[in-house]
Structure 1
Amino acid sequence: MAKVSTSDFRNGLTIMLNGEIYSILEFLHVKPGKGGAFVRTKLKGVVNGKVLDKTFRAGESVEAVRVERRPYQFLYREGDIYHFMHKETFEQIPVPEEKIDRSVFLKENQDVQVVVHAENEEILFAEIPDQVVLKVAETEPGVKGDTAQGGSKSAKLETGATIQVPLFINEGDMLKVNTKEGSYLERVKI
């Protein structure tokens, strides 16, 4: 792994810190009137998702980690193991459920990005899209006169996830869902 100086920091750079891989979300070079310059950073753990504020002295070196994002398609689930196929090489890989963030919104044939440590080919995590279109499997029937301004009700989606939706949503409707917040965005006509 290559060493990088704080002058090489940029958003998205992945580094090794205390044995964990972090991605730089924000950084700011600070040169106070007195004392040495430093770099203030906001880091996010690639594997654990922890957000951390860290200050480095100017010129300090850290280990850079090369990660690759690869296009995969979700095939099927077998217990706690999810099977994915590379979209170009058709190679299939198993990924444990704990390495998939928001797996409850994952449906068969859905495209995902699998993030891999480039040097040792270790699968770090699978990232599903921020917005997906899913079908409503179960919900209370909509009543005439219910409006978008009214209340909300629970709806179970085809993947098994349960979200809150407006009262006018019915079984069989296709919904655009925000996977980060687990929330309803809009009804989709297909």
Structure 2
Amino acid sequence: MISTNDFKTGLTIEFEGDVYQVIEFQHVKPGKGSAFVRSKLKNMRTGAVVDKTFNAGEKIPKAHVDRREVQYLYNDGANYYFMDMETYDQFEMTKEQLGDAVKYLKDNMIITNLLFKGQSIGVDLPNFVELEVVETSPGIKGDTASGGSKPATLETGMVVNVPFFINVGDVLQIDTRTGHYIKRV
């Protein structure tokens, strides 16, 4: 059990029969009444974010989430297949379980699998991935890095806005937290 006074960003808790991660929290001490903790919690299974207010000092079970390195192998259209890097066991996850992570997965990519009570609840991606541009309109001579943007389709099918000087075949660094273009590699 953990007290709501000990909340910190990234902490995982069991709440209402599911696993949640603390995204934001704020301790509030009003002039009248008792103190409370206002928080934003992200459901680790579904990705949904909920606002929840707890009484200060309230006890909540801490969720123990195991993290294991896995390698992304391939997908067959419906399922995505991974291999545990320690045991070499292969397992599959659905598109719904992975959520937005499918936009960043490349063959043989190493990511972190999140396990709760032996069941996979999602994946943690690196903060940045490098993806190749497979389709974009050609740049026009004289375009600079500071002016405007155009859409570019990456090797995973994801579409991002990039500066005009980016061409087909360029490898880009993409931020997996925001989905934005960072730089050309």
TM-score (norm 1): 0.84
Distance 2:133 2:179 in 1: 14
Q: Does 2:143 correspond to 1:139?
A: no
Counterpart mapping for 1:55-66 below 5 A: 55-66=53-64
Shift in CA distance, 27/159, structure 1 to aligned 2, threshold 3 Å: closer
Corresponding position of 1:83: 81
Secondary structure of the residue aligned to 2:67 is strand
Once the two structures are superposed, residues 151-188 of structure 1 have per-residue CA deviations (whole angstroms, 9 ceiling, x without a partner) of 32222211121222111111111111123332221111
Corresponding position of 2:126: 129
Which sits farther off after the overlay, 107-116 or 3-12?
3-12
Once the two structures are superposed, residues 117-148 of structure 1 have per-residue CA deviations (whole angstroms, 9 ceiling, x without a partner) of 0xx31110123223111111122222322211
Paired letter, 1:146: D
Paired letter, 1:161: M
Distance 2:45 2:121 in 1: 6
CA contact (8 A) 2:14 2:20 kept: yes
Give the root-mean-square deviation of aligned CA atoms.
2.1
Question: Sequence identity, in percent?
Answer: 47
Shift in CA distance, 183/8, structure 1 to aligned 2, threshold 3 Å: closer
Distance 2:64 2:112 in 1: 16
Corresponding position of 1:105: 104
Distance 1:45 1:187 in 2: 34
CA contact (8 A) 1:139 1:170 kept: yes
Shift in CA distance, 74/147, structure 1 to aligned 2, threshold 3 Å: same
Distance 1:54 1:14 in 2: 14
| Residue 108 of structure 1, CA deviation | 0.5
Shift in CA distance, 27/154, structure 1 to aligned 2, threshold 3 Å: closer
2:3 is aligned, of 5, 13, 34, to 5
Corresponding position of 1:54: 52
| Residue 68 of structure 1, CA deviation | 1.3
Paired letter, 2:177: K
| Residue 26 of structure 1, CA deviation | 3.4
Corresponding position of 1:173: 170
Distance 1:53 1:66 in 2: 22
Paired letter, 2:35: A
| Residue 34 of structure 1, CA deviation | 4.3
Q: Does 2:31 correspond to 1:42?
A: no
2:179 is aligned, of 167, 179, 182, to 182
CA contact (8 A) 2:98 2:122 kept: yes
| Residue 13 of structure 1, CA deviation | 2.4
Corresponding position of 2:114: 115
